[in-house]
A = this chain, B = another copy of it.
Amino acid sequence: MLEVGIVGGSGYGAIELIRLLNQHKEVTVKYVFSHSKSGEQIKETYPHLQDNIHVPFSSLDIETVDCDLIFFATPSNVSKQFIPGLLERNIKVIDLSGDFRIKNPDTYEQFYGERPAEQSILDQAEYSIAEWSKVTKDTNLIANPGCFPTATLLSLHPLLAQKCINKDSIIIDAKTGVSGAGRSLSQNVHYGEVNENLSAYKLGTHKHTPEIEQYLSLVSNSDVKVTFSPHLVPMTRGILTTIYVDLNEPITGEALHELYKETYRDKPFVRVRSYGELPKTKEVLGSNFCDIGIYVDEDRNKAVIVSVIDNLVKGASGQAIQNMNLLYGFNENEGLNLLPVYP
Residues of A within 8 A of B (CB): 12, 15, 18-19, 22-23, 46-52, 168, 171, 173, 175, 177-179, 183, 185-187, 189-201, 203-204, 225, 227, 229, 231, 233-238, 240, 242, 244, 268, 271, 273, 277-287, 289, 291, 293, 295, 297, 299-300, 302, 304, 306, 308, 337-343
Residue in A48, A52, A185, A282 with the greatest tally of chain B CB atoms within 10 Å: A48
Q: Is the CB of A22 within 8 A of B339?
A: yes
Known: A23-B337, A49-B339, A196-B196. 14 other contacts (CB 8 A): A48-B282, A50-B273, A178-B191, A179-B343, A189-B190, A191-B194, A191-B195, A195-B195, A195-B234, A196-B285, A197-B235, A197-B281, A198-B281, A203-B278
Question: Assuming the A-B contacts A50-B271, A189-B190, A297-B227, are A198 and B235 also in contact, with contact meaning beta carbons closer than 8 angstroms in the complex?
Answer: yes
Cα distance, A281 to B197, chains bound together (Å) = 5
A19 contacts across to B, CB distance below 8 A: 339-342
Q: Is the CB of A342 within 8 A of B198?
A: no
Q: Is the CB of A343 within 8 A of B47?
A: no
For the complex formed, measure the closest distance between the CB of A326 and the CB atoms of chain B, giving whole angstroms.
20
Q: Is the CB of B244 within 8 A of A240?
A: no
Cα distance, A235 to B177, chains bound together (Å) = 13
Question: Assuming the A-B contacts A48-B339, A240-B231, A302-B227, are A12 and B189 also in contact, with contact meaning beta carbons closer than 8 angstroms in the complex?
Answer: no
